[in-house]
A and B are shown apart, each in its own frame.
Chain A
Amino acid sequence: MLDPAGRRSPFPAWAGVACAVLLAACSGGAASGPPALHWYVFNEQSGSFAAAAKRCSAESGGAYRVDMVPLPTAADQQRSQLVRRLAAHDPAIDLVGMDVIWVPEFAAAGWILPWKGDDARRALRDRLPSAAATARFRGRVWAAPLTANTQLLWYRSDRVTRPPATWDQMIRMAEALGDSGTIQVQGARYEGLTVFFTSLLASAGGRILAPGDTSVALPTGPTERALGVMERLARSPAADPALSTSREDQGRLAFEAGRSSFMVNYTYVWPSARADAPEVARHMAWAPWPSVIPGRPSRVTVGGIDLGVGAFTRHPRLAFQAALCLASVKSQRTAVTRGGLPPTDSLLYDDPDVRAVFPFADLLRATLRTAVQRARTPLYTDVSLAVMDVLHPLVDIDSVADVPRLRRAVRRALRSEGLR
């Protein structure tokens, strides 16, 4: 059962009777003991989040107990479940593990509580600046950054001697390799596509929204350059035939099968390749995400999980306390050593245990230091949909004509007029 009594109080009597008759799911009833805080977060497989929940409960000395409630595995379902229940003022949501892009939305809608004073300072202490920025919105702190994430370039060191520095170079190298030269990127119509575009655009010196995140930027030059890379890649033989349905994991599988020589992807591909395809892993190397403009370092999108406190919780004090503990360096250490989730604490990247998990720790930290935020607007979902709607499928991109289309679509989204 996911939650205790309470949130369904106006339950009609006849339904109650019906449920009783059919023996099923209407029970509930609060357990005794310390107040339970429900922590909604994605289903972390290694158990490191569950371990953190257990440790924090123990360290609280009986003040609270954290019960981890895994969200659905599908990414869009995680947000759906949370926002619908928060819109229904569900008091059972005490702690929320938010994808960093939800923070402005949840904050603006009043679904999470702002952090104040010492709590806010502690939540952001020693955090990588890009990770700390994900927790801020309109001058306030709304979350404690727990894990970060960003992409690197993965390539086959047995097929190319030096990693490509730019996208143009990479496409040329891949084309020269022939059948095994495929480049894996995220081209399906989903959030990964917006992330890909955001990174390309930032690397070209542009951004989707103007500073302040209330109006469209999409400057012509950089936008055309970013779209140009997508256009060129999609029409190149170096693109995967399944590009228009390709997500992170399809890319990983293709790379592990040896059919690809290049891939932009998250760090989880490294332990995965070592476990599933040791032959490939031996020749798997990493490099900075390729540049768009020669000589200008790329800027890659930052992701990760921020911990917020649900606005309708019955135990706000305890929830802030628990969130600080769950996002503490100790928890992050477990998350990275057991689950391979990159920390937001910048000092952890010097820890020998972390460097054992991430032999590329320095590159990862450097990438995160300069990482770029996705649009910081409560309407992020709509903005992202507008972007993917114009850009999908990549093979149909027209790098000149699509710039005004993109601006129009994003402008509509910002007016809350984005149909999806």
Chain B
Amino acid sequence: MSDRGTALERLFWRATVLVVLVYAGLPLAWIVSLSLKPAADLGDGHLVPRHVTLAHYGAVFANPHFPAALRNSLGIATLATLLAVALGVLAAYAVVRLRFPGRRLFLGGALAVAMFPPVAVIGPLFDLWRRVGLYDTWAGLVLPYLSLTLPLAIWILAAAFRDLPWDLERAARVDGATRLQALRKIILPLAAPGVAAAAVLVFIFAWNDFMFALSLTSTDHARTVPAVLAFFTGASRFQQPTSAIAAASVVVTIPVVVLVLLFQRPIVAGLTAGAVKG
């Protein structure tokens, strides 16, 4: 088989790629289309809108809950990402560079946390949060997101660290750099793709979460977009404004799609790292 393949093979792969693109894109294309159609065309069944209107986007941002939710989502996901990557870097460094008792236990525990069912903890968390004042606050969501994404962060970062040429670090240490300086100046820049992958995946987790947001928040103070979106209603309590929901859905989807497009390579590498390197 030559590198480029025969014309027939190339045609086959083109068709296959097209199928995958339709698979991945169709539901989203539909929701984009719904968000752009004027109300009267909503039921016309056309994928490409016959008339395009941005009115629904205007309506979404005019609803006071949505911008607040967007701000909460951005803030909470960003905080959770920064913290998870910071704690993850420390732990991953220790796991890869140091030999200490309990290391395997730590990794096994992290793995268990990765498979943890959130519904097993929302009751006690709600009970605790309502008593210590974390209910309906940013911190009340950042904390669970941080904890549940740490395993993923540690996993990806450890895989990235493992591939680094450690001689460089050793050389730096010989030159008088502390461990921390070496970590910051030498290792992190080299492991940047891994750090990016960990950050993006943690962000996506926090951005996507529904159950914690639903359970531990109730107002514009901390409610995030998915929880607001699930209860998006129209002017009256009985209406289900499809177009507005579609527009809001598109708005929350844009950031993650942009992240995925920008960081495709490190994300794929990061997600596959654990299994490959094993």
Contacts and interface: CB of A to CB of B under 8 A. Distances in A.
Contact between chain A and chain B defined by CB under 8 Å: yes
B240 to A, nearest CB: 8
Contact of B136 (A9, A22, A85): A85
The contact size tier of chain A is 35 or more
A24 B135 contact: no
B132 interface: yes
Interface stretch (B44-52, B67-75, B153-161, B202-210): B67-75
A379 B235 CA distance: 31
B138 A81 contact: no
Interface stretch (B8-16, B53-61, B87-95, B213-221): B213-221
B126 interface: yes
A88 B220 contact: no
Interface residues of B, number: 32
B138 A25 contact: yes
A252 interface: yes
Interface stretch (A67-75, A113-121, A157-165, A405-413): A67-75
Interface string A244-257: 00011100100000
A248 B136 CA distance: 31
Contact of A88 (B79, B130, B222): B130
Given A84-B135, A249-B238, A73 B231 contact: yes
A2 interface: yes
A22 B79 contact: yes
B4 to A, nearest CB: 50
A10 interface: yes
Contacts of A89: 130
Contacts of B233: 72-74
B139 interface: yes
Given A15-B139, A18-B138, A2 B130 contact: no
Interface in A205-254: 247-249, 252
A356 interface: no
B6 interface: no
Contact of B218 (A19, A22, A81): A81
Given A18-B142, A26-B138, A247 B238 contact: yes
A319 B134 CA distance: 27
A75 B222 contact: no
Given A42-B237, A77-B231, A81-B218, A87 B130 contact: yes
8 contacts: A3-B219, A18-B138, A24-B138, A25-B72, A25-B75, A81-B219, A87-B130, A248-B238
Interface of A: 1-3, 7-12, 14-15, 18-19, 22, 24-26, 42-43, 45, 72-75, 77, 80-81, 84-85, 87-89, 247-249, 252, 268
Given A15-B139, A73-B237, 18 more contacts: A1-B220, A2-B220, A8-B137, A15-B142, A18-B79, A18-B138, A25-B71, A25-B220, A25-B221, A72-B231, A73-B236, A74-B231, A81-B218, A84-B135, A88-B130, A89-B130, A249-B240, A268-B236
